[in-house]
Structure 1
Amino acid sequence: MPALPSSYTSGADASRRLRFTIYALTIIMCVICYGDRAALSVAMPRVAKEFGLSPSETGWVLSSFLWSYFFLNLPSAITLDRVGTRLVGAAAVTLWSLAMIFGSIATTVPAFIATRILLGVGESPTFALGNKVMRYWARPGERGLMMTAFICGIPIGLATGAVASAWLVETFGWRSTFSILGALGLMWSLAWLWIYPSKSALQMSDTRDAFALISIPTLFRSRDFWGIVIPQCCGNYANFLLMSWLPTILRDTFHLSLMQSGLYTAYCYLGATMLSLALGKLGERSVRNTEAATGTRRHAVSFFLAMASMLGAFPLCHSPLAATALLIVAIACVTAGTGANMALLADLLVERGSLGSVTGLTLTFSNGLGIAAPVLTGYLLQATGNFHAVFYIAAFIILVGSVAVFLMPRRHIHAHRAITS
């Protein structure tokens, strides 16, 4: 077990080596999470053929993990604040990894959907855990960049998952692919339990000593809280649309093979990862000499989301290279925007110990809209035969988020009911 500091005031007092090891493990968790999601997206043509699914039914299967993910975001985040990041992280990744393995042996559509619902149960605390770890361990001057780095686990996971899954599916079939990815998650859980501190003053400050239930009515009355929720909803709509459908969109639009669609998907997400890190660093510089608690980070969030609305120009792309260039910029801006938005929440939230719970409540809303993306896409494809309307709607939704975050969050956010004398 790595050595712990003799005293603490925040996670930033921990040794640099331990701090960056925890950063790396948290980002890897996000990579595994979205790599597992990408596996179904890439394998979906084979899965749909095996189970005889229509486009609309495919949309429902792609969204099925979001059903439990949506309902359990808040309960799992409250559990995270109460129990702590070490145990919840290991349990969550173990559960969704087992769900991947169970999915590989499912023989009926209901059984397969049940494994996807179980996967959503396991993944439900993931984002709240990442936000809590980065807020707790990161120094104030690196918080936005590290949160963006964590969110970069999304495109990295989708890119590596797309390429690896395409090769594995072509070589071994989709069932073996699911089993292999599930085994990787189980290995991560063991590493997390070994490395993350336990039974120490540092760990206790992260969990029980600071724990208190949030007041949902207090948050609901906060204009500033909704100024965080709305852009997160809008960014998540685009995230879940592309996460669920991008390989299929590229394959059908440009008549690509399964392997080619997986490679172009990887190019999109790897390019977006590099660009989003640069944008995250730019966003940190924009607030370096300002008071974070005044909400100045919202300008960066608004700018990134406004740029991400270029997603609406996808129907104008007539080659996979042009589409890839457009998607790299759009995905990078969504990633940088949602990362800065979560850092903005950490800036404005007064009760630091409740960050996991407040993040979970935020994600309950954002994932509620995210559920609609793969389902609506399936119906639009079935009705129109193309993806044009899909991208026009996504661009409009992203712009709504850009305007909302620019106008609304300016003051502190309180998660607990005010005590009056």
Structure 2
Amino acid sequence: MAPHSSAPSTGHSDGAIAVLRPDRRRAWLITAMIVTFMVVNYADKSVLGLAAVPITKELHLSNSAYGLISSSFFFLFSLSGLVGGFLSTRISSRTLLFGMALLWSAAQLPVLAVASVPTLMAGRVLLGAAEGPAASLSIHALYRWFPAERRALPSALQIGGAALGTLIAAPVVTWLVQAFGWRSAYAALAAVSAVWALLWWRTGHDGPYDGQHAGTGTGAGGLRLPYRRILLTGTVLGSIASAFGAQWALSLSQAWLPSYLRTQLGMSARSAAACISVVSGFGLVLLLSVSPFVDALKSRGVSSRWSSGAVQSTAVCVAGCAMAAIPFVHATGPRLILITLGFGATSIAIPLHYMTTAEVVPVAQRGAVFGIVAAVGTLPGLVAPLLTGHLIDASSSPAAGYTTAFLAAAAVMLVAGALALAAIRPEHDARRLAVHHMAADTAPGQAGAGVH
């Protein structure tokens, strides 16, 4: 039964409120704020790709130059994700997410002053550095409001915010670009990021399911293991592989899918935006459908290896097969279905790979490990856009370049999915590490409540 009582609180050094007992309404308010956080995150991230055609024309960019600018978003992305994970063990989620959102706003401003390759790159590098820890820190903040057995739906909603962000951004940013020029989209997103930061500062307090408030002992929040031992478990390595395959498709989608739809399939800007919204909508529906399915499997005693691990691995493999088929199917309907599967099916791997990782990590180290997993799992963002630009420029035609890029992506995704399927075994690895989340994921006074 979900707890729902309010409780007294004590102050943190940064002014946040540490709620000592679960509060259902507060938990869902935090969930709504974090979903919105992810919507803004992905809208900020998508703006360059959605405005790619007018930007490349105005600045006379080659495909390789555009690919470099797109990849620059990831220059510091993985490093900042790693740093942010370790900071989460010392600084509250309230402060970290607030500061990140303010930096998102600031990152949109350089190009408004001077539209050039250096300012575009500077803004993307800053934005990437500020968004590197976004997924891992926001889900870490969310987990502080829900016990382990109730995290599937909130996790799906959190990453669903990413799909929703692209779904909303595609038509809105396209309209802004066409009606007021591409700079207007940057200005609008700067304002939205700043508004979210202010709202979060008022509402974003840390929850009760926090290792700092758990007891001591083997399963408690005080347990700490060598990071090398945690990171070399099959579950963590498999979860990273799953994220790696999903991120390759995601980075291609953000950087090159809008241009591909317009330049290779002959779509108008509005039709391309509608197609991208469909892909994002499919990912969102998939997330919301799979989370209750995963919960149902777990409630029936199905192991996490099959309820969470196999689902995310299969999704990456299915998307990889669809990606490989895209260049060879020319009928409009089937090709759009393959595009939707290739770029949308991986969405469920993102929340599930955090869930499987969380099951083998002591609560006190969860934020840091999430940061490490995110840092490695998002490395494709540094490679895929730049590689695709080079492939297009080096090929006999843009169509041939896209074909090679899609086949390369498919190979990466299939290998990553297969590795994840073989390696993710949360129950086995948790037993080997002697990590038991009964105490760690239970609020004070709630010990013994059913978790796993």
Q: 1:87 aligns with which of 95, 101, 105?
A: 95
Deviations 1:44-74 (Å, cap 9, x if unpaired)? 1121122221001110111111111122111
Letter in 2 for 1:318: H
Q: Is the 8 A contact 1:156 1:270 kept in 2?
A: yes
**Is 1:412 matched up with 2:414?**
no
**Is 1:390 matched up with 2:402?**
no
**Residues of 2 paired with 1:416 and 1:303: CA distance?**
26
Give the aligned partner of residue 349 of structure 2: 337
**Is 1:107 matched up with 2:115?**
yes
**Residues of 2 paired with 1:185 and 1:102: CA distance?**
15
* Sequence identity (%): 22
Letter in 2 for 1:364: A
Q: Is the 8 A contact 1:275 1:329 kept in 2?
A: no
1:2-401 equivalence runs, <5 A: 4-6=6-8, 13-197=21-205, 205=212, 215-290=226-301, 297-309=308-320, 310-349=322-361, 351-384=362-395, 385-386=398-399, 387-401=402-416
**Residues of 2 paired with 1:180 and 1:108: CA distance?**
19
Deviations 1:149-177 (Å, cap 9, x if unpaired)? 21122221112111111100011111121
Q: Is the 8 A contact 1:82 1:211 kept in 2?
A: no
Letter in 2 for 1:222: T
Task: Normalising by structure 1, report the TM-score.
Answer: 0.89
Deviations 1:310-329 (Å, cap 9, x if unpaired)? 22221134355433322333
**Residues of 1 paired with 2:63 and 2:76: CA distance?**
22
**Residues of 1 paired with 2:210 and 2:198: CA distance?**
18
Q: CA deviation at 1:91?
A: 0.5
**Residues of 1 paired with 2:434 and 2:85: CA distance?**
19
Deviations 1:304-359 (Å, cap 9, x if unpaired)? 2222222222113435543332233334420112221111111222x112211101
**Residues of 2 paired with 1:279 and 1:201: CA distance?**
27
**Residues of 1 paired with 2:289 and 2:134: CA distance?**
24
**Residues of 2 paired with 1:211 and 1:369: CA distance?**
34
Q: CA deviation at 1:201?
A: 7.0
If you compute each CA radius of gyration, which structure gives the higher value, 1 or 2? 2
Deviates more, 1:137-146 or 1:352-361: 137-146
The number of equivalent residue pairs is: 413
Q: Is the 8 A contact 1:84 1:203 kept in 2?
A: no
Deviates more, 1:102-111 or 1:228-237: 102-111
Q: Is the 8 A contact 2:22 2:208 kept in 1?
A: no
Runs of 5+ unmatched residues, structure 2: 11-17, 436-452
Q: CA deviation at 1:376?
A: 1.1
Q: Is the 8 A contact 1:81 1:211 kept in 2?
A: no
The structure carrying a bigger helix percent of its residues is 1
Describe the shift of the 1:280–1:397 C-alpha distance in structure 2 as closer, same or farther (beyond 3 A): farther
**Residues of 2 paired with 1:214 and 1:92: CA distance?**
29
Task: Normalising by structure 2, report the TM-score.
Answer: 0.83
**Residues of 2 paired with 1:102 and 1:211: CA distance?**
44
Q: Is the 8 A contact 2:160 2:284 kept in 1?
A: yes
SS in 2 for 1:259: helix
**Residues of 2 paired with 1:331 and 1:257: CA distance?**
20
Q: CA deviation at 1:288?
A: 2.6
SS in 2 for 1:150: helix
Describe the shift of the 1:203–1:357 C-alpha distance in structure 2 as closer, same or farther (beyond 3 A): closer
**Residues of 2 paired with 1:298 and 1:160: CA distance?**
30
**Residues of 2 paired with 1:415 and 1:161: CA distance?**
44
Deviations 1:118-149 (Å, cap 9, x if unpaired)? 11121122011122023222243331232122
**Residues of 2 paired with 1:294 and 1:363: CA distance?**
20
**Residues of 2 paired with 1:94 and 1:211: CA distance?**
32
Q: Is the 8 A contact 2:329 2:335 kept in 1?
A: yes
Letter in 2 for 1:257: S
Q: Is the 8 A contact 1:220 1:226 kept in 2?
A: yes
Q: CA deviation at 1:101?
A: 2.4
**Residues of 1 paired with 2:52 and 2:146: CA distance?**
38
